[in-house]
Amino acid sequence: MRIWGIALPARTPVSFVVDGERLRASGSSTSDGPWLLPGLADVHSHPGTEAPADEYAHEVFRRHMLAHRAAGVLTVRSPGSADPVRDRPDDLDLPRLARSGQWLATPGRFFPDAGRRISESELPEAAVEEAALGWCKVIGDWMPDDPPVPLDVLTATVDAVHAVGGRVAVHCQTAEGCRNAVLAGADSLEHGMHLDHSLLPRMAAQGTALVPTFSAFAKSIENIEASSADQRLKDWIRDGWEHAFPTVRAAHEAGVTVLAGTDNKPCGQVAAEISWLVEAGMPVEAAIGAGSWTARAWLGLPGLVDGGFADVVAYDADPTEDPDVLLRPKQIVLRGKVVV
């Protein structure tokens, strides 16, 4: 099979043949043909359950991952799963998956009965266990009046996971929780609501990414406004939501890696998250990268290059001119096989 077109983000004409799972440069490239991405990427999705406290079901996982694939999402990071099995083999017809084991929840944090429950003193060791496949996910804080995971505990956890070559994603949505995650040297802040902008230069310097998950909060805002939750909680979420837009713009401008993660069902909606990043003030090309090549590179996956993976989504028009183009993939190739 031959694949040719204009590859983003370089905008260079490319021509490849598919050799198994890989792309090989071949033939002459012309400056027409479709626009090519190395697939979209959603770095915050929880395939396998509808809600965190549900039991993991592989048929649900497959349904979620096929929804991603149908939308051109060929890379997914699951920052926290209900799946207790650490050595589950990849389904080769599904998008590439960066795994992080189970959510790690210390007392008073996270949804009741969800995730792996441990004490604060058990957190570093449990994090190393869950990071066996690359990532672990720590619930770093929860409600606004509750203390976050203490800085010394979180620092010991990040250090222990880094020592075995793993990476740490931290759920944080309070100012204190975000601060502790940054000072502990987390690899990513998930949500990052109420993040103090004075921390952005440090995040950029140490390579801590921000995954703002606008899609999930857009839904929470609707739900909470209609609920009987107390007004303080409503105000806190509303403030966090409004603060997230300037935060994302400032983070991008400070050189922080901002990435697209939906944390939302149905799966396959990362194009909507990219639109939120644009609305927050990221340049369109950077926002698309956040849900494509930048996210893949951050996960260690190559782009559309000789020897790279044959993961390609073709579009009829340039998505950097109109991101709605991302809603209409013309052809989807995953691991060298045409799936659409």
Q: Residue 285 CB, nearest distance to Zn ion (Å)?
A: 26
Q: How far apart are CA 173 and CA 157, in angstroms?
A: 19
Nearer to Zn ion, 141 or 263 (CB): 263
Nearer to Zn ion, 27 or 84 (CB): 84
Q: Residue 80 CB, nearest distance to Zn ion (Å)?
A: 6
Q: Residue 106 CB, nearest distance to Zn ion (Å)?
A: 17
Closest residue by beta carbon to Zn ion = 263
Q: Residue 190 CB, nearest distance to Zn ion (Å)?
A: 6
Q: How far apart are CA 107 and CA 183, in angstroms?
A: 22
Q: Residue 283 CB, nearest distance to Zn ion (Å)?
A: 26
Q: Residue 46 CB, nearest distance to Zn ion (Å)?
A: 6
Nearer to Zn ion, 49 or 247 (CB): 49
**DSSP letters for 100-164:** --BEEE-TT-SSTT-SEE--GGGHHHHHHHHGGGSEEEEE---STTS--S-HHHHHHHHHHHHHT
Nearer to Zn ion, 36 or 210 (CB): 210
Question: Which residues of this chain interact with Zn ion, rule CB under 5 A?
Answer: 263
Looking at residue 187, what DSSP letter applies?
S
Residue with tokens 């619930």: 139
Nearer to Zn ion, 176 or 263 (CB): 263
Nearer to Zn ion, 261 or 308 (CB): 261
Helix (H, G, I), strand (E, B) or coil at 321: coil
Q: How far apart are CA 169 and CA 145, in angstroms?
A: 22
Residue with tokens 């935060």: 247
Looking at residue 80, what DSSP letter applies?
S
